[in-house]
Amino acid sequence: MPKDVFVFVELKEGAVRKVSLELLSKGKEIAGRFSSALCAVLMGHNVKNVAATIQSYSDKVIVVDNENLADYRWDAYTSAFEGLLKKYTPFAILGGSTITGKDFFPRLAARFNGAMVSDAVGVDFHNSGVKIKKPLFGGKIISWITCSEDSMIFITFRPNSFGVEKGSLNGEIIEEQFEVVKDPKMNIVGIEKNVSEKVDLQEADFIICGGRGMKGPEHFQVLEEIAGIMGGRVGASRAVVDSKWREYEDQVGKSGKTVSPKLYIGCGISGALHHTMGMDTSKVIVAINKDPNAPIFHYADYGIVDDAFAVLPVLREALKRTKEEI
């Protein structure tokens, strides 16, 4: 078995994303299983100070600092990471199933003719290798995938698939420089960043999601109040976003965000496959729908057959009282 397990450490507004800490925790387990080294890979510009914050999570922190890596773009990041992989030849590269991860990892896998598994939610071991857990068809099928041991394995995992363990290592910080190639046919003239104080939808532990059954954008206020009490986030179905009731950043589903919160509450959501493919790995699913035959109940751990407008105000007041008592 080749020596290293790599974790691509993703940054958001200069801070390490929670999903990267989850993968470093799981990567430690995988590396320990095969007596391998766990390497955190940190790419960007002026990120050397961030390396110290993840030393305790890895055996090595490999830093590639270049002004052309200040913002993610596929050509620059892929060329730099390609040089890194050629030098270290790890057997597994882990990353988050985020917008960046979904764009970045398939490009790397193609360059190395490697095995690519996206949207994974778990790892187990068999014989001398690993097997990867991946839900299919909105969670109706759970597949276990094994990969050839003579090829690099590229895996993106859904956020909240693993817990974050307290770091106990003291990783060596290694600075590397590789050629950063930009596609001359592509020129970025500006980047508009939508900075929000909301909890990141993909990393939220609690999500309360509204569908067309909420009847209008004004009725999402009660969901916002409940999310605020719980320290979570409001999500929306594609139908809601298409109707301009909520922004695209709130969309949960195949063409939106894939989420795995500890608690998901769906309000007035029918449970179309397009939506359930984005939330089927939530730890606990609660559905509120007045239609007892709504498909969402097939996925729910708990179901409330009632009008959401009757249930939500009661839920809000109960949560308020509970919070005041704590």
- pLDDT tens-place string over residues 269-303: 999 988 998 998 899 999 999 999 999 999 999 99
pLDDT surpassing 70 at residue 22 = yes
pLDDT at 137: 79
- pLDDT band at 194, cuts 50/70/90? low
49 Cβ contact partners less than 8 Å away, ≥ 6 residues apart: none
Pick 150 or 258 by higher pLDDT.
258
Q: How far is 250 from 241, CA to CA, in rounded Å?
A: 8
Query: Domain 4-176 belongs to what topology?
Result: Rossmann fold (3.40.50)
pLDDT surpassing 60 at residue 2 = no
pLDDT in tens, 76-128: 999 999 999 999 999 999 999 999 999 999 999 999 999 999 999 999 987 77
Mean pLDDT for all residues in the chain: 92
Q: What percent of the chain has pLDDT over 90?
A: 75
Q: Is 74 exposed, middle or buried (0-12, 13-18, 19+ CB in 10 A)?
A: middle
pLDDT at 185: 75
For residue 307, count other CB atoms closer than 10 A to its CB.
13
8 Å CB contact between 28 and 165: yes
Domain ranges of the chain: 4-176, 201-325
Which of 30-44, 52-66, 173-187 is predicted with the least confidence, judged by mean pLDDT?
173-187
Would the CATH topology of 4-176 be identical to that of 201-325? yes
- pLDDT band at 133, cuts 50/70/90? very high
pLDDT surpassing 90 at residue 306 = yes
pLDDT at 139: 75
pLDDT at 112: 95
Pick the CATH number of 201-325 from 3.40.50.620, 3.40.50.1220, 3.20.20.140, 3.40.30.10: 3.40.50.1220
Strands, E assignment, 137-282: 141-146, 153-157, 172-176, 206-210, 233-236, 263-267
- pLDDT band at 198, cuts 50/70/90? confident
pLDDT surpassing 70 at residue 195 = no
pLDDT at 43: 96
pLDDT surpassing 80 at residue 262 = yes
